[in-house]
Amino acid sequence: MESNTLVLYLFPAVLIAAAAEGLWLSRARHETYDWKEWATSLGDFVGRRLLGFIPWSLAAVPFAWAYDHRLFTLGLDSIWSVLLLFVGMEFFYYWYHRLSHTVRWFWNTHSVHHSPNKLNLSAAYRLGWLGKFMGVTLFFTPLALLGFEPATILSALLLNLLYQFWLHATWIPRLGWLEYVINTPSSHRVHHARNPDYLDANYGGVLIVFDRLFGTYVAERADEPCEYGLVTPVTTYNPLLINFMPWIGLAKDLASARSVNEVWHYLFGAPGWRPNGQGLTTAELRTAGLRKGDGTWLRTRSAS
């Protein structure tokens, strides 16, 4: 089944589940639920689907080339090929996700997903509009070179993202020994947190094993409650602004660049990089002293 068909069938259930969570949290548990955030995520999804009608993707040609020069021809007719696709997807998703946090070019799109200031199920489908134009799916072309059809790869990626829907719940506790194997709501809460100790961690999709293998796993701590959103919180509910502000910020930085080296670092350096070494990268935030006594950050990193 193609990815567009999967979205058509599955998204209504996802939308209903997110709305049901909001009703349950606000009425049964008497928690404050931001319905404007819910509507913003819905608007983001609609905008992304509309842009999907544009028949162009930066990764389309590399994907086609990789499949035309494939080493094998692999279908889903055996458990071994399904397992290979699953593990391969997890591996390349890990690196796509990790670089989406550490390379500004990819962060500009991925930051949209981290823009909600409260974590809930509706945040799962706020993913940013410009991914296909910025080469996000390039990370998965090795699977095409290996022999999987591009449509199969994209469907597997969508199923990976669908698994992550439930991870955006704040009311599901830690899950014991499963925390060592799969990505859980606890691990994903850390991933979405803006606390300096939690930044840039837990990149897995379905599994958490690659985070443990490559040293990016951080456990949720009772003494450090998660605070969600970008380090500099987004204050608008306008999907247009949320999607395009990071790129406007990048354009301004590029206009101020005084060398090719600065251009390169603005494009592909860490988010928050500045040529004077006084930027707001994750490493610099952790070095800066973290928090004041009143709980506010000593320094903040821009959404761009």
Q: Per-residue pLDDT tens for 199-234?
A: 999 999 999 999 999 999 999 999 999 999 998 899
**CA–CA separation, 24 and 41 (whole Å):** 18
pTM comes to 0.91
Confidence label for 257 from pLDDT (cuts 50, 70 and 90) = very high
Confidence label for 277 from pLDDT (cuts 50, 70 and 90) = confident
138: buried, middle or exposed (CB in 10 Å: 19+, 13-18, 0-12)? middle
Confidence label for 289 from pLDDT (cuts 50, 70 and 90) = low
Any idea what DSSP says for residue 272?
T
Please tell me the predicted confidence (pLDDT) of residue 293: 37
DSSP string, 68-82: HT-SS---SSSHHHH
Q: Domain ranges in the chain?
A: 3-173
287 pLDDT exceeds 80? no
Amino acid at 215: G
Report the chain's mean pLDDT, rounded to a whole number: 90
Q: Which residues are CB-contacts of 253 (< 8 A; sequence separation ≥ 6)? A: 266, 304
The answer to whether 108 touches 99, Cβ cutoff 8 Å, is: no
298 pLDDT exceeds 60? no
**CA–CA separation, 90 and 270 (whole Å):** 23
Mean pLDDT of 99-122: 96
